Amino acid sequence: MGDPVKSDAKTNGFHKATNGHHQQQQEELKIAIIGQSNFAAEVLELLLERDHLIVGVFTIADKGAREDVLATVARQHGIPVFKFSAWRRKGVPIPEVLEQYRSVGANLNVLPFCSQFIPMEVIDGAAYGSICYHPSILPLHRGASAISWTLIEGDERAGFSIFWADDGLDTGPILLQKQCPVYGDDTLDTLYKRFLYPEGVTAMAEAVDMIAAGTAPKIPQTEIGASYDPALFREENQYLNLNQPAVRIFNFIRGLDSVPGALAVVQMEDGEEVPVRLYGASLSARRSMVNGKPIQFKGSTGSAFVTREGIFITGTDGSLVRVRRIKRGNRVIPAGEWFEQLGTTKATPLVLTEKEQEQDTLLRSIWKSILKVEIGPETDFFACGAGSMDVVRLVEEVKDTLEVPIDNETLFMAPMYGEFLQEVIQRMRSGSNGDRGTNIPLDFKHVVLKANRRQIAVPTQLFINGRFVDAEGAKTIPIVNPTNEQVICDVANASKVDVDDAVQAADEAFHGVWTSVSARERGQLMYRLAELMEQHREELATIESIDSGAVYTLALKTHVGMSIDAWRYYAGWADKIEGSTIPVSPARPNRVLTFTKKEPIGVCALITPWNYPLMMLSWKMAACIAAGNTVVIKPAQVCPLTALKFAELTVRAGFPPGVINVVTGTGSLAGQALADHPAVRKLGFTGSTPIGKRIMASCAESNIKKCSMELGGKSPLVIFADCDLEKAVRLGMSSVFFNKGENCIAAGRLFVEDRIHDEFVRKVIRGIKTMKIGDPLDRATAHGPQNHLAHLEKLQEYCAIGVKEGAKLLYGGKRVAKMEGLFFEPTVFTDVEDHMYIAREESFGPIMVISKFHASDFDALVARANSTEYGLASGVFTQDIAKALRFAERVEAGTVFVNTYNKTDVAAPFGGFKQSGFGKDLGKEALNEYLKTKCVTVEY
């Protein structure tokens, strides 16, 4: 709350201590309010609401052009205001000050918050005396730092007293007291905001009401349990004793949290002593610091460590205290970044555009209107006397005026105007207009791809907690361009420790910074990201072509285009996730309200395949983020580059650190570590059925984490003779050869009615011969390279088995001759029998498998289509709508295409049956994969 009143002489005889009540008042109260701050201003307004007469307000002198809020409020109500820098000079009351006080004719002094020494001539100058607010349960914690000492001493209860001023320091008779429990996570700020401020304002008005009614008691303070504690505004009292049990260290830090901060001194390796202030303490359940880097505090006999989570200080009892923030000089930084920040210098000032210069002017005007001083780059918001309400006002005005997402922490981390301006401009540039985001410095390891008339910088490190970092031991894996089989670059190869770091970052963000982002703000971040992806569309498509072999035109339209659509679609859902109310039957006469809440699950892990690297990331992650989760994604080992470029864009979009993390590496190590991690609560996987089974087992054994699986497919496509044959041929080819056959819903087996079989096959072969195979960046290319060598070899083996079992190889079946790169010929098999390997197993490549059927037995046809353990997609071509709908009813597949194929949309749910997995991507239904339903029942 701050300093109590300080007095220096006895109160008058009328207020001698008594256990009784005042006599009934004969004269109307004429109140002088002496004090400062929002607290005093609210007391003033509440007294006016209760029709008390305020004859004068006495407050502190202006700081520059900045007057105290009490003076501002008083003037708005036409109350005389007097501002004194001091009431005494050399211990003697200043005559002109006393004269001004006496001029208002007050008969009651109300001191709701006063940091000045008030002479007893004033305290006793009112006929009904003076009442003061003190933020402790007197006689405990007398003195200027009562709230802090309540926490430092580990009191189980806090509270405040309103007492009659006398010639002692907070020793006068008690008028009233109120108490509240002290919780384990309370700080000075939380106690103040939760109880001492709101209840204190009301109690001051209650006390005045009692005086007016003549019922105000005067209860002498007992000396039992009395204490007078040192003032913590003196720096020598702010130093933290590190040689005590952890709970005492924790209590001292939280007792000084926010202002002024517990002082300690770091001893550097070169002997330099660096004073720091510690904030955000908590008692840690940890008992070991495996990955901690030692830090030495002066005078401490115990050990301390820096980890990504913060600084951990060991108490004399062996328990640990975690510190989240640390201040060096004027700058507050995350404590976990202590060593990284040591060598940093001030950021190079941004070169502002003309529009940004206008925004600078607006921002300066906001600062000036609050601080009432001229604003320069070195102007420190807090050094100018700003308080907690000023922080709220600044943040809200900046958000409203400049439409930039900031919070209180933004100001705490950048309290000087120049730093704050840079932070705001950086965030605005990461938004959705014009060239925002383009000037963020490239401060990570990267490869420059020179292709498609572009030079594209792509990160090559892990992305954890908002930063690109090396893997443990700087381990890497090579990434190969399938078009020429040359190594593009080496990317970080995540270890189990790296995965744990990423999960912990996501967990902290989920329980921390992400909770302060509203659903609507979450949607706005997603829209900004989609806008940045749109701006970098050609770059992303180029990366996808080089990294995965995707044909550039297809990558532009589908790989990237549908990714952008997914982020925009789910951005719109972010603030529309709702529960429901449920009518129940309560036992009479009670009444019951039952409702459900849809809540995010927590940390979600995503493991995505290599056929659509960016699109699979977006399909899953957009729904995951819209639902309010944080995420760690492990992209495919062989083509992670678009995921890493995407991570860079999330920084530019303004996503808080830890919300999105990318770990590259092998599935057997990094992917398995995610499936096994106990802090991961949901795993979304797209890949093969055998790997899916292993992951499900790991999800069950680790912590029964929720999972969704989009696995293998052997999708049947039935083509009846009454179809539009030209369309059936065109889309039939697309159903198999789209994206080089590396398509989860590819038609794994075509059933063609015998009447049109031969003509259908001839047209397909003719169409294949017109397809251009080659460089995916060539705009005329229709068929690019397979994704990686192991897959191409698998396709060769697949075709060999088909030939061996008696299927007829009409075209292709081999690697393209005399061509550099992993190119496989589009392939056609006919005369395929139901028992054959290629009729039952997925190729995941450009291999068309054709079987005949006779239209007379519809039931047998459906049975053949369903005679697979997969059930991802299916299709039918016919002009007979009844036949089409009968097929759609009976086929066992999650998606059914009628007279089309590969026609997916972000609003339409996508997912399979049987061993093709469970759960949905896309559409509203996908949100349920990343939400949990909580049922709440209230009896009233």
**Paired strand residues for 416:** 380
CA–CA gap between residue 479 and residue 487 (Å, rounded): 6
28 is in an annotated binding site: no
Instruction: Report yes or no: 779 and 553 within 8 Å, Cβ to Cβ.
Output: yes
CB 20 within 8 A of CB 213: no
H or E stretch at 810 = strand 808-811
**Distance from C-alpha of 793 to C-alpha of 808, rounded to nearest angstrom:** 20
Distance CA 922, CA 908 (A): 6
- Does the CA dihedral 878-882-886-889 come out positive or negative? positive
DSSP code of residue 416:
B
> How far is Cα of residue 349 from the mean position of the Cα atoms in its chain?
27
Residue 637, annotated ligand binder? yes
* 354 in Cβ contact with 344 (< 8 Å): no
Q: Is 834 annotated as a binding residue?
A: no
Alpha-carbon distance of 425 to 926, in angstroms, equals 35
Q: Is 298 annotated as a binding residue?
A: no
Is residue 81 a contact partner of residue 71, using CB atoms and an 8 Å limit?
Answer: yes
- Is 357 labelled a binding residue? no
Whole-number Å distance between alpha carbons of 766 and 366? 71
Give φ, ψ of 829 to 5 degrees: -110, 140
String of b and e for 495-508 (b: at least 16 CB within 10 Å)? beebbbbbbbbbbb
> Rounded to whole angstroms, how far apart are CA atoms 440 and 429?
8
By C-alpha distance, which of 730, 748, 625 is closest to 689? Answer: 748
Q: 744, 757, 791, 929: which is the annotated catalytic residue?
A: 744
Q: Is 216 annotated as a binding residue?
A: no
797 is catalytic: no
* Phi, psi dihedrals of residue 322, rounded to the nearest 5°: -100, 135
Is 710 one of the annotated active-site residues of the chain?
Answer: yes
Query: Residue 61: exposed, middle, or buried by beta-carbon count in 10 A (0-12, 13-18, 19+)?
Result: exposed
The catalytic position among 710, 742, 825, 929 is: 710
Is 381 one of the annotated binding-site residues? no
680: number of CA atoms within 13 Å, CB side?
Answer: 32
Q: Per the annotation, does 3 bind a ligand?
A: no
Exposure of 858 by Cβ count < 10 A (0-12 exposed, 13-18 middle, 19+ buried)? middle
Q: What DSSP designation does 93 have?
A: E
Reading across the β-sheet that carries 931-939, which strands appear in turn?
581-582, 592-600, 931-939
757 is known as an active-site residue: no
In our burial notation (b when 16+ CB lie closer than 10 A, e otherwise), range 459-490 reads bbbbbbbbbbbebbeeebbebbbbbeeeebbe
Q: Is 634 annotated as a binding residue?
A: yes
Q: Is 341 annotated as a binding residue?
A: no
Displacement of CA 521 from its chain's centroid (Å): 11
Q: Is there a contact between 120 and 9 (Cβ–Cβ < 8 Å)?
A: yes
Consult the annotation and say whether 685 binds a ligand.
no
State the helix-helix crossing angle for 37-49 and 69-76, rounded to 10 degrees.
20
Q: Is 223 exposed, middle or buried (0-12, 13-18, 19+ CB in 10 A)?
A: exposed
Helices (H), ranges, 872-938: 881-890, 923-928
667 in a known ligand binding site: yes
Is position 159 annotated in a ligand binding site?
Answer: no
Given the residues 134, 536, 757, 783, select the one marked as catalytic: 134
Is 282 a known ligand-binding residue? no
H helices within 451-560, ranges in order? Answer: 496-511, 519-535, 537-548, 552-554
| Residue corresponding to tokens 């004793």 | 241
Report the alpha-carbon distance of residue 601 to residue 919 in Å, rounded: 15
Q: Give the integer Cα–Cα distance in Å for 71 and 861.
A: 87
Answer yes or no: is 437 a known binding residue: no
Q: Which of the 8 DSSP states describes residue 586?
A: P
Residue 3: enclosing H or E segment and its boundaries?
none
794 is in an annotated binding site: yes
- Phi and psi dihedrals of 316, rounded to 5? -65, -15
Binding site per annotation, positions: 116-118, 170, 634-637, 667-672, 687-688, 794, 842-844
Binding-site residues for (6R)-10-formyltetrahydrofolate, in ranges, read 116-118, 170
- Enzyme catalytic residues: 134, 710, 744
Residues of each annotated binding site for NADP(+): 634-637, 667-672, 687-688, 794, 842-844
